[in-house]
Amino acid sequence: MTVLDIISIVAGSLMVVLGVLALNAKKLFNTVIYLSMMSMLAVVCFVIMRAPDVAITEAVIGSGLVTALFVFTLFAGKKAGGKA
Amino acid sequence: MNTSFIILLIAVPLGAAFLSVLVKKLGKYFLGAAIGFNLAASGILAYDYVSPVIYEIGGFKPPYGISLVLDEYSLLGILLLNVVFALIAIMACKYIKKYEVVLSVALAALNGVILTGDLFNLFVFMEISAIAAYILTTMNKNIKYTFNYLVLGTLGSGLLLFGIAVIYNMFGSLNIMDIQNRMAIISYPVAGALVLPLALIFTGLSVEAKLLPFSGWARGVLKDSNSLVGTLIVSAFSAAVLLAFGRLIDSLFVMSDSLLIVFTVVTVGTLILAEIAAFSKKNLREILLFSSIAQSGLVVALFLQGLKSAALLVLINNVISKMILFTLAAKIGEDNGTDKLEDLKGVFLKNKVLGFGFTAAAMSLIGLPLFFGFIAKANVLVSLFEANNIWLPMVILIVSVIEGAYVVRMLTTLWNTGEEGELAKAEDAKQYKLTNKVRLTIIITIAAIAIVAAGILPLLQMNDWFNFDILSFLTDGLGGV
Amino acid sequence: MIQYFSIVLMLVGIYGLLSQRNVIKLIAALNIFEIGLNLFIVSIGFVKDGLVPILTSNNESSAMLYVDPLPHALVLTSIVIGVGVTALALALAKKMHDKYGTYDMDEMGGK
Amino acid sequence: MKQIVSILLVAAIGILIFSALYFSDETLKFNEYGNVNLDDRVSEKYIDKSVNGNTEEIIFGETQNAESGSANMVTSVVVNYRSFDTLGEVTVLFVSALGVGLLLNGKRKRKNLKDAPNFILKQGARIIFGIMVVFGVYMFIHGHITPGGGFPGGAIIAASILLLYLSDDEFRVKLSAAKAVESTAGSLYVIVGLLGIVLAGYFLQNFLPTGTVGEVISSGVIPIVYMLIGLKVGSELSSVIDGFLTEEVEG
């Protein structure tokens, strides 16, 4: 077992836990944050699998822009006065 | 023959889409030009067709580069698709406003779905056409159903990609022909190992092909759609997806017996259940959409049995007649504010030409003699009997009775105003509207005449019309001109 | 190892799609599924002791052992497609929230 | 109840997938994680750049005029060998940006931020904006020698625009300009493809000399195409962001 194996096991299991948490979160905002954390861990996994191109793309698009879009959607909902 | 036309079928509509964002006012003309170019190009390709062509994009030979395949099968596909697409765009041009770009992209993507010889490229084009379809369905103003469609469609294409990834892991290639060759080299049966990827690909494609139980999106999306969106989805989109489905089944599906049984049960189950559902519905568009689901089931079931030619005949019949039926149904719904059968007694008395077009298409759908559907159905039954298959013809015949029942009920209601036995009078239908549009009338008439002609001419010209191979007909009949 | 987790992630995504009725959570479930799928595709290209598939002044020959670059290219495409679909889905969600005042699909009723 | 049913269903699917992938006793097996022989795969030739019959080893900084001049093999797959997929991919983003625009259409104005941004925040964000844009441009121009490329580069540009949106109450991208960039870049991509037909014979074929592997000015059309992709992705994502950060004007 190398260090990378251990990191990948930790990251992988954390991702599964975060995924379940995201789906069962009470607040929608937490869902989004868990999703973003998952995406960040996925970046770690991509680096472990020697895929820097994919890692950069996932970091910028997956955990950056997509999270931003989710958050903006939620804020728009809050403002309209409906319950989130 | 200039092989560059193959790629231009995709590149020109894409270029038109990109350009029409720049000059918004000219969007209509760009779309028209793209459709016209595609019609002409597919005509030229058909006219010059001699033997299968493989177009290597980027100049890299397959399997390394992406290749487009133009054989009899895809030639038939692009002819059908481009003609149907053009007709729908002309008939429903008042809805196109603001959506020209989406339609151009959809045209490019559907051509790509039919032509591509690469699995991942197929996924990309499926996804483009699906996204175009999601955007088009927002025209219905019922966003909840569009969202349903989006979620199911994305899950489906995800599963398709999963299956493609497993195939790539096993065979190390993404080119369909190359995978086929690599399967042939392996001396032992590959069916066992292929169960998972084939199941994933089948599930992924069934979402777009509207097979049960993945067709939950279709009802919500189609039941109040207008004559552009609904007609495109039940004819053009479904034709392209089914053709891609057929190509994959033909080349990659090496199935174990149990897997074949599962797939057949799904498709035949779709056929039976959807026809029963269509029988129980009271609204014109709902009847048609369930009938469309049922026909998809039948086409895929025939592909699974290896009867490519029969499946293609059913597909053509379904696409052309559904185009007419759904356009008119959506138009009736729009003119009268409802498409409930009970409220539309005798609506065709207001406009007999359109009524006859509708009737011809409906007759062809159920396969009455003298219509094209009869040739298709006879071919299906004959080729199934030749393959020593007894139970599937039985199912098809029983289902045809159900189909016939609801189509006849639909037609009698739409033609007949009063009580039974009374002669229908045009005055009784006064409260309905079915406005006359010149373009619509001309196209419907021509299409209806084409259906009848394609139903009669083979009977007169060919001795073995019940055993008619559409693919070789295409090369001998058109290529040899 | 990552491969097992990626499949489990996809299953979590499917579970979310089956069990949730909230629009935002459905989109989140789709994203979880996509992350799992992307990890899976990259993992099928991983070669033990393979190098990053970029020629540099340290790894300067194509004869060395590299990981498979093709799945990386596929995943780049898949990520971008994913963000396109997610943006469209979120725009739909925003519209639905404007119309019904809620993100819960059950509360939206038949209309 | 629904939860339990879905858990059971998912568990069943999971068992099916795992048993088919890892526990099947067929001779043709799913290659397990890490145990992959690239000689069985098409990508072997992508690494050696030998699709068109090259037999020599590719050496960084020495080999000239290879069929694909990129040192980054992922880039050579994305922009040379499978460029058509990439064209499809930018089309996906194009259509969905268009769809977002159509859904959130109408006359729109900026949404007010909760706390009005102060002077330091505004100016600081502008400085960072410049650095980010330069980094994004660097990324897509160097896509053929370093990791990155058109998509992350474009996304970084979009992120820098997002920064301006968040730090400045009144900032708005000129949507018409974004559309113009997007449309021009997309059309130019198709035109590069068509030039391939005219100059080299096939759509999207490379028609420029590929130079020495590893140099900045090399690899034929790759930097051009990646620049177009970067601009296109950047402008598309910016217009998507604009759709989400504005609200319809009442009445």
**Structural tokens at position C67:** 């990981």
pLDDT of residue B31: 92
Q: Is the minimum CB–CB distance between B184 and chain D shorter than 8 Å?
A: no
Residues 6+ apart with CB under 8 A from B379: B309, B310, B313, B466, B467, B468
pLDDT tens digits, A30-77: 999 999 999 999 999 999 999 999 999 999 998 889 999 999 888 877
Is residue A63 included in any domain, yes or no?
yes
Distance CA B361, CA B390 (A): 28
Contact B190, B251 (CB under 8 A): no
Domain enclosing residue D31, as ranges: 2-36
Shortest alpha-carbon distance between residue C70 and chain B (Å): 10
Helix ranges, A1-84 (H): 3-24, 28-48, 52-57, 66-79
Q: For chain C, what is the mean pLDDT?
A: 90
Contact D186, D94 (CB under 8 A): yes
- Sequence-distant (≥ 6) Cβ neighbours of residue D3 within 8 angstroms: C19
Domain of residue B320 covers 287-481
Residue A79 has pLDDT above 60, yes or no: no
Selected residue of C74, C76, C94, C103 to mutate for chain B interface (largest B Cβ count, 10 A): C74
Helix (H) / strand (E) element for C10: namely helix C2-19
DSSP, residue by residue, C20-50: --BHHHHHHHHHHHHHHHHHHHHHHT-BTTP
Gap from B256 CA to chain D (nearest CA, Å): 13
How far apart CA B286 and CA B220 sit, in angstroms, is 9
CA distance C58 to B281: 70
Give chain D as a DSSP string.
Answer: -HHHHHHHHHHHHHHHHHHHHHS---SS-PPPTB---GGGSTHHHHHHT-TTS--SPPBTTT-BS-SS--SBHHHIIIIIITHHHHHHHHHHHHHHHHHHHHHT-SSEEEPPPSS---HHHHHHHHHHHHHHHHHHHHHHHTTTTSS--HHHHHHHHHHHHHHHHHH-SS----HHHHHHHHHHHHHHHHHHHHHIIIIISSTT---S---BTT-SS-STTHHHHHHHHHHHHHHHHHHHHHHHHEEEPP-
pLDDT of residue B418: 61
Separation between Cα atoms, residue C97 and residue A80, nearest integer Å: 8
Q: What is the dihedral of CA B172, B177, B182, B186, to 10 degrees?
A: 140
d(CA D250, CA D227): 39
- pLDDT higher for B452 or D106? B452
Could you tell me if D17 and D102 lie in one domain? no
B166 vs C110 pLDDT, higher one: B166
Burial class (CB in 10 A: 0-12, 13-18, 19+), B434: buried
Number of structural domains found in chain C: 1
Residues D235, D172, single domain; the answer is yes
Give Cα separations from A32 to A66, A69, C24, C31, C79 (angstroms).
9, 10, 9, 10, 18
Give the per-residue pLDDT at B115. Answer: 94
Average the pLDDT over each of A8-17, B302-311, B421-430 and give the range with the smallest value: B421-430
Chain B touches chain A, with at least 3 Cβ pairs below 8 Å, answer: no
Looking at the fold, whether D23 and D104 belong to one and the same domain comes out as no
Tell me the two tokens of residue D37: 């022989």
> How many Cβ pairs within 8 Å bridge chains B and C?
67
Q: Do A19 and C12 touch (CB under 8 A)?
A: yes
Of D235, D189, D183, C80, nearest in space to B17 by CA: D183
Whether residue D41 lies inside any domain: the answer is: no
B437 exposure class (CB count in 10 Å sphere: 0-12, 13-18, 19+):
middle
* A50 lies in some domain: yes
- Listed by number, the residues of chain B in 55-84 with a beta carbon closer than 8 Å to a beta carbon of chain D are 55-61, 63-66
Is residue B260 situated within a structural domain? no
ipTM above 0.85, yes or no: yes
Spatial separation of the C-alpha atoms in residues C47 and C12, rounded to whole Å: 27
Predicted pLDDT at B419 = 55
Domain assignment present for A84: no
CATH number at residue C77: 1.10.287.3510
Q: Which residues have CB under 8 Å from B396's CB, separation 6+?
A: B271, B298, B377, B380, B381, B384
Cβ–Cβ gap D191/B64 under 8 Å: no
Chain D contact for A57 (CB, 8 A cutoff) = yes
pLDDT in tens, chain D (251 residues): 888 999 999 999 999 999 888 887 766 778 888 888 888 888 888 888 888 888 888 888 888 888 888 888 999 999 889 999 999 999 999 999 999 988 887 677 777 666 778 889 889 999 999 999 999 999 988 888 888 888 999 999 999 999 998 888 788 888 888 889 999 999 999 999 999 888 888 888 888 888 888 888 888 888 899 999 999 999 999 999 988 888 777 64
- List, for residues D196-226, the tens digit of each pLDDT value: 888 888 888 888 888 888 888 888 888 899 9
Determine whether B21 is exposed, middle or buried from the number of CB atoms within 10 Å of its CB (0-12, 13-18, 19+): buried
DSSP code for B300: H
Cβ-Cβ pairs closer than 8 A, C with D, add up to: 161
Asked whether the predicted pLDDT for residue B422 surpasses 70, the reply is: no
Q: What are phi and psi of B175, to 5 degrees?
A: -80, 130
How does pLDDT run across B409-420, given as a tens digit for each residue? 888 888 877 655
The larger pLDDT score, comparing residue B125 to residue B468, is at: B125
Pairing of strands B67-70, D246-248: unpaired
| Whole-number pLDDT of residue B26 | 85
**C91 interfacial to chain D (CB closer than 8 Å):** yes
* Interface touch C61/D58, C-beta < 8 Å: yes
Q: Do C87 and D240 lie within an 8 Å CB cutoff? A: yes
Q: Which pLDDT value is given to residue D8?
A: 93
Q: Per-residue pLDDT for A82 more than 50?
A: no
Angle made by CA atoms D237, D243, D244, in degrees to the nearest 5: 95
The total number of structural domains that make up chain D: 2
Q: Looking at the predicted structure, is the pLDDT value of residue B429 above 60? A: no
**D140 assigned to some structural domain:** yes
**Measured distance CA(B110)–CA(B102) in Å, rounded:** 12
Find out whether B99 and B31 touch, Cβ atoms under 8 Å: no
D178 plus D236 within the same structural domain: yes
Closest partner CB to A60 (pick from D111, D152, D247): D152
**Does the beta-carbon distance from B120 to C105 stay under 8 Å?**
no
| pLDDT in the model for residue B480 | 42
User: Is B323 part of a structural domain of the chain?
Assistant: yes
* 3-state SS class at B103: helix
H or E element in which residue B53 lies: strand B53-56
Disruptive mutation site among D203, D207, D232, D240 for chain B (greatest number of B CBs within 10 Å): D203
- According to DSSP, residue B65 is labeled S
Flag if D92 and B190 touch (Cβ within 8 Å). no
Rounded Cα gap, residues D215 and D224, in angstroms: 15
Neighbour count for residue B158 (Cβ, 10 Å) = 27
pLDDT digits (tens, 9 = 90+) for B258-273: 899 999 999 999 999 9
Question: Residue B342: how many CA atoms within 13 Å on its side-chain side?
Answer: 2
Q: Given this model, what pLDDT does residue B262 score?
A: 92
In a domain, C97, yes or no: yes
**Whether residue D146 sits in one domain with residue D58:** yes
For chain A, the chains sharing at least 3 beta-carbon pairs closer than 8 angstroms are: C, D
Judged by CB atoms closer than 8 Å, whether chains meet at A65 and D75 is answered as no
Q: Are residues D91 and D27 in the same domain?
A: no
Taking CA B439 as the corner, what is the angle to CA B40 and CA B316, rounded to the nearest 5 degrees? 55
Minimal C-alpha gap between B94 and chain C (Å) = 24
Provide the number of structural domains found in chain A.
1
Query: Integer distance in angstroms from the first to the last C-alpha of chain A?
Result: 45
Same domain, D26 and D87: no
Number of domains observed in the structure of chain B: 1
How many residues belong to chain D?
251
Q: What CA–CA distance (Å, rounded) separates B190 from B167?
A: 12
Cβ of D244 within 8 Å of Cβ of A57? The answer is: no
* Nearest Cβ partner for A80 among C28, C38, C101: C101
Q: What is the pLDDT of residue B12?
A: 93
Tell me the pLDDT band of B434, cut-offs 50, 70 and 90.
Answer: low
pLDDT digits (tens, 9 = 90+) for B167-205: 999 888 999 999 999 888 887 777 778 889 999 999 999
Does some domain include residue C59? no
Of residues B479 and D143, the one with the higher pLDDT is D143
User: Is the model's pLDDT at B425 over the cut of 70?
Assistant: no
- Higher-confidence position of D171 and B287: B287
d(CA D75, CA D143): 7
pLDDT reported for residue D3: 86
Secondary structure tally for chain C: helices H, strands E? 3, 0
**pLDDT score of B453 more than 90:** no
The pLDDT value recorded for residue B436 is: 65
Same domain, D19 and D137: no
Q: What is the pLDDT of residues C5-48, one digit of tens each?
A: 999 999 999 999 999 889 999 999 999 999 999 999 999 999 98
What rounded mean pLDDT belongs to chain B?
Answer: 87
Tokens 């996204």 belong to residue: B131
pLDDT of residue B332: 85
Task: Establish how many alpha carbons lie within 13 A of residue B117's alpha carbon, considering only the half-sphere containing its beta carbon.
Answer: 26
Q: How close does chain B come to D142, measured CA to CA in Å? A: 22
Closest chain B residue by Cα to residue C98: B143
Q: How confident is the model at residue B479 (pLDDT cuts 50, 70, 90)?
A: very low
Phi, psi of B64 (to 5 degrees): -80, -40
Among A49-53, B130-134, B473-477, where is mean pLDDT lowest? B473-477
Least CB–CB distance from B147: residue in C44, C77, C89: C89
Q: Based on the fold, state whether residues D6 and D80 are members of the same structural domain.
A: no
